[in-house]
Amino acid sequence: MSFITNAMCKIVISAIQNATTHVLTEKIRVIESLNKLPHLSVTIYSHWRKKSS
């Protein structure tokens, strides 16, 4: 009985760890995208200004 409980605990723990890692990776990806946004909008803006002038 205790063996099964042990195995279940290990599965649950590893699942939680995997989920946490996944969430952190996603958050980092989102932050990186947000960091690229200003650069992107500046590029678009300067491109648009060249066109209109």
Residue 52: what pLDDT? Answer: 84
- pTM comes to 0.49
Measured distance between the N- and C-terminal CA atoms of the chain, rounded to whole angstroms: 78
Residue 37: what pLDDT? Answer: 86
Grade residue 1 by pLDDT with cuts at 50, 70 and 90. low
What CA–CA distance (Å, rounded) separates 49 from 45? 6
Residue 39: what pLDDT? Answer: 83
Residue 11: what pLDDT? Answer: 94
Residues whose CB is less than 8 angstroms from the CB of residue 39 and which lie 6 or more positions away in sequence, other chains included: none
Tens digits of per-residue pLDDT, 3-35? 889 999 999 999 999 999 999 999 999 999 888
